Amino acid sequence: MKIGGWVFLMVSWGIILSLTTFCFIKVFSKKELK
């Protein structure tokens, strides 16, 4: 795999994993359904 491939893989995974982690941390720290 070329450097460019690694960059796209790492950036894509990074964006998605950060967003998902942020969301789930917030979900578990916030209120339940009414």
Partner 1 sequence: MVTTKKRDTWGSRLGIIMAVAGSAVGLGNFLRFPAKAASNGGGAFMIPYFVSLFLLGIPLMWIEWTLGRYGGGFEHGTAPGIFHSIWQKNRFIKYFGVIGIFGPLVIFIYYTYIEAWTLAYSYFALLGKYAGISNQGGMQSFLRGFQGLEHNQYFQGIGTAYIFFLITFIANIWVIYYGIKGGIEKLCKWAMPLLFVFGVVLMVRVITLGTPDITKPDWNVFNGFGFLWNPDFSALKSAKVWLEAAGQIFFTLSVGIGVILTYASYLSKGDDVVLSGLTAASTNEVAEVILGASIVIPAAFVFFGPVDIQSIARSGVFNLGFVTMPLVLNKLPLAAIFGFAWFFLLFLAGITSSISLAQPAVAFLEDEFDINRKKAVSIFGIVSFLLCQPAIFFLSRGVVDELDFWGGTFFLVLFATIETILFAWIFGMEKAWDEIHKGADMRVPKIYKFVIKYITPLFLLSILVSYFWQKESRALIFMKDISPVNQNFILSTRLGLLLMFLILAILVKVAWRKKRMQAGRIK
Residues 1-34 that bind partner 1 (CB under 8 A): 1-2, 4-9, 11-13, 15-17, 19-20, 23-24, 26-27, 30-34
Residue 26 in tokens: 């917030």
Q: CB of 34: closest distance to partner 1 in angstroms?
A: 5
Using CA atoms, how far apart are residues 25 and 28, in angstroms rounded to an integer? 5
- Binding-site size for partner 1 (CB under 8 A) equals 25
CA 8, 10, 16, 22 torsion: positive or negative? Answer: negative
Residue 1 in tokens: 């795999």
Rule CB under 8 A: which residues touch partner 1? 1-2, 4-9, 11-13, 15-17, 19-20, 23-24, 26-27, 30-34
